Amino acid sequence: MNSSDMLLIYASIASSLMIITSSLIRSHKRREIKYPLSVDTEYVELDEIRKYLNTPLKGLVPDYGKSGKLIPVKLTVPLIPKELSNVWYCRKLGCGGWGCAYLCKDEKGNEVVFKVPKGLEGLIEGGEVPTVSIKAIKRIHKEVKIITKLRHPNILRLLGYGLNTPILIYEFANFGSLYWQLSKGWKPSLRDVILIGMQVGDALRYIHGRGLVHGDIKPSNIFIKDGVVKVGDFSSIVKLASQTTPQSSYGFTLGFRAPEQVFYDLRKLSSELGIESRIDTYQLGNLLLYLLTGRSIDGEDITKSQIVNEVIKDVDYPPLRKVIIKALEPMPTKRPSCEEVVRRLLKIYYRLK
């Protein structure tokens, strides 16, 4: 092959590369124009939120977990970690969609909550040791190890887990959940609602920065310890624990689902753009809406303007209504991040002080 032939080949390669590069640039530009990500122009220093992360809610209903029959339970290795092996006196708090929770206290006064999937209540109530596949337990351990490392004032501490059983061990939230408080007649003030939004939103911002998504924000998954709200029950752990028994059921919560959890094309788009965390933004907006109106908007109904307008109009405070509308944006690419929502809520909180 002579030099002129080589030059022709190089020229052809260079031309092809230029065409491919130009095509990619045009494609990228088209994509950016079609899917513009949300940009917040209202800036406040996020460090300012720290002084409000431990601010307690007011007027809460006390005495959560004080009633019910005490059950003596001896839990030792290999059921639970050595540091938690003990005789516990447990009281059933209740059961949810996937599992049952027990408040357990030892002779020294230490209190923890044991959670087990539905169908495995015998672990606590009868000392029965179920047969669970090692593969399933290993999957739970892998996920739980990530959650136990989270340190944020508004995340419920996961203290440990069963070594060969699907037991999850949490710190005790002595005021129950938002759902429990609302069911007992507690009515949050506008200040309380915004405070809840900031505390939950900052916890979500924290986990998003670590590559995690909660995926099931709702009143029964927001717990209250000493008046401060804490996010608990990550859907990834709940899903794995539910798989250990046919009696447990797991699914996204109707009424609080983001559009991406309903429509495949939006889920695919969010995954491609790496913005799966906007699911939590939508659910945070729904949580605020529920606290203010007693209603939420499921992701399946978000495009039905009549339903949306009917619910949104009941939010009496215009600045907060605006934040909720933005958080409930159907397109995840146009929806703000949880960090943006927290910044906006902080500005509103300053106006109320």
For the stretch 295-346, pLDDT in tens is 999 999 988 888 899 999 999 999 999 999 999 999 999 999 999 999 999 9
Q: Which fold has domain 46-60+176-352?
A: Transferase(Phosphotransferase); domain 1 (1.10.510)
Pairing of strands 99-105, 70-75: unpaired
Whether residue 195 contacts residue 51, with contact meaning beta carbons closer than 8 Å, is answered with no
Model's pTM, two decimal places?
0.83
Domain limits, the chain: 46-60+176-352, 70-171
Instruction: Specify the CATH number for 70-171; select among 3.90.1150.200, 3.20.20.30, 3.30.465.10, 3.30.200.20.
Output: 3.30.200.20
Tell me the C-alpha distance between 275 and 131, whole Å. 38
Whether residue 218 contacts residue 345, with contact meaning beta carbons closer than 8 Å, is answered with no
H-helix or E-strand containing 324? helix 318-327
> Would the CATH topology of 46-60+176-352 be identical to that of 70-171?
no
Tell me the C-alpha distance between 332 and 336, whole Å. 8
pLDDT tens readout for residues 111-158: 999 988 888 888 888 766 666 667 777 777 888 888 889 999 999 999
Whether residue 116 contacts residue 100, with contact meaning beta carbons closer than 8 Å, is answered with yes
